[in-house]
Structure 1
Amino acid sequence: MRHSHQILLDSGQPITAESFKNQFSRNAEKSRYLMQIFNKHNKRMESLIGNGFELNTLKGYNTSVKHLSGFLKTKFRKTDVEIKSLDHAFIVDFEYYLKSVCKCSGVSAAKYIKQYYFYLGH
């Protein structure tokens, strides 16, 4: 589990006595973080290999995590972001990153973005 201070740093929230107290005491709205969700999903899928789930599919999900992690580090200098901070610009910038930095085709970029939406639903 991450420490309250790191959660505030990663989310970009101002670090004040009040925000720290709220985060520390869990009085704040329960935050959901994108990479946390991705990683939880992939661990669950890994346990299903051979039971209706193929290794190649997991490799694709892991590649999605790698690309998104690289995007967060490049664009925001963060390892994770709160779900509620995501917007249309985030998706547009992620698509640009996939095509320009990762050299993904339009079809591949669309696949990674589709997986991104899938993760948000969980």
Structure 2
Amino acid sequence: MFANTAVCGPTLLSPDLAAVLRLLVLAPLLEEWVVRAGLHAWLLPRCSGALAVLASAAAFSALHLGSGPLASALVFGPGLAFGLAYQRWRDWRLCALLHSACNAWALSMCA
């Protein structure tokens, strides 16, 4: 187990059922709907694909600032991956599934 308190916040270290549902269902659906189906899709006709990917990853990171600057920085990489997936397949639901898988991995490493 990873269980580093600098990386794993209290929600990841000892998740209850509500936290697990929030991390595996609610957050991925809402965040990807806003960031990919909203921002990324809006940016595509207005700028390059690379800029859309970078901007959506930065917005995704900003959404995680409430968990601290380290958490925000750590999700930038996955945010890039989700942005590239959206860029390729244009399906925010796939991004939500990938997001959920990343959160499941984080839960398994921290809890």
Q: Which has more radius of gyration?
A: 1
- Greater relative contact order: 1 or 2 (C-alpha under 8 angstroms, separation 6 or more)? 2
For Structure 1 versus Structure 2, the TM-score category normalised by the shorter chain is 0.3 to 0.5
TM-score, normalized by length of structure 1? 0.31
TM-score by length of 2: 0.33
